[in-house]
Structure 1
Amino acid sequence: MRIFTALFCIFFSLLTYGQARQNLVTVKKTLKLMGTRFEITVVAPNEEIGYINIHEAVSEIERIEKIISSWDKDSQTSLINKNAGIKPVKVGKELFDIIERSIKISELTDGAFDITYASMDHIWKFDGTMDKAPTEAEIKKSVSKIGYKKIVLDAENRTVYLPVKGMRIGFGAIGKGYAADKAKELLVSKDVKGGIINASGDLTTWGTKVTGEKWLVGIANPLSKDRVFSWLPVVESSVATSGNYEKYIVLNGEKYSHIIDPRTGYPTRGINSVSIFAKQAELCDALATAVFILGRDVGLHMINQIDGVEAVVVDGENKVHRSSGIVFDTN
Structure 2
Amino acid sequence: MIRRAQPWLGTLVDISVEGTASQDAVTAAFAEIARLHRLMSFHDGASDIARINRALPGDVVRVDAATWNVLRLAGEIADLSGGAFDIACAPWLVDRQMLPSPAPEQARPSARTSAAVFALDGEGDVRKRGAGWIDVGGIAKGYVVDAAVAVLEAAGVPGGCVNAGGDLRAFGTMQVPVAVRAPGAPGQAARHIMLCGAALATSGSYFSAREHRGGVVSALLDARDGHPLVSTASASVRAGRCAVADALTKVVLATGDCAHPALAALGATAFLI
1:69 shift after superposition: 2.0
For 1:278, the aligned partner's letter is: A
Match of 1:98 among 34, 57, 70: 70
Distance 1:157 1:184 in 2: 23
**Per-residue deviation, residues 236-288 of structure 1 (Å, max 9, x unmatched):** 1000000122222469x986544122332221254510000001000000000
Query: In structure 1, which of residues 11, 26, 31 is the aligned counterpart of residue 6 of structure 2?
Result: 31
CA drift at 1:109: 0.7
SS at match of 2:90: helix
Contact between 2:85 and 2:224, CA under 8 Å: does it hold in 1? no
In structure 2, C-alpha distance between the alignment counterparts of 1:157 and 1:237, rounded to whole Å: 28
Question: Shift in Å at residue 310 of structure 1?
Answer: 0.6
| RMSD between superposed Cα atoms in Å | 2.8
Classify 1:66/1:258 alpha carbon distance in 2 versus 1 (closer, same or farther; 3 Å): closer
Runs of 4+ off more than 6 Å: none
Matching residue's letter, 2:50: S
Report percent identity of matched pairs: 26
Provide closer, same or farther for how the CA distance between residues 291 and 142 of structure 1 changes in structure 2, counting only shifts above 3 A.
Answer: farther
**1:120 and 1:143 in contact (8 A); partners too:** no
What is the rounded CA distance, in whole Å, between the counterparts of 2:72 and 2:191 in structure 1? 38
CA contact (8 A) 2:119 2:129 kept: no
In structure 1, how many angstroms separate the alpha carbons of the residues matched to 2:23 and 2:186?
31
Residue correspondences, number: 265
CA pair 301-100 structure 1, distance change in 2 beyond 3 A: closer
Say if 1:156 and 1:52 are closer, same or farther in 2 by CA, change over 3 A: closer
Query: Aligned-pair distance for 1:53?
Result: 2.4
Greater gyration radius = 1
More contact order relative to length (CA 8 Å, sep ≥ 6)? 1
TM-score by length of 2: 0.85
Q: Deviations over 1:125-144 (max 9, x none)?
A: 57xxxxxxxxxxxxxx9772
State the shift of 1:307 in Å.
5.5
Residues 84 and 168 in structure 1, CA contact (< 8 A), matched pair in contact too = no
How many Å separate the matches in 2 of 1:258 and 1:152? 23
Equivalent residues in 2 for 1:164-183 (5 A)?
164-165=130-131, 167-183=132-148
Mark the CA change 1:280 to 1:265 in structure 2 (over 3 Å): closer, same or farther.
same
Q: Which runs of 5+ in 2 are unaligned?
A: 99-106
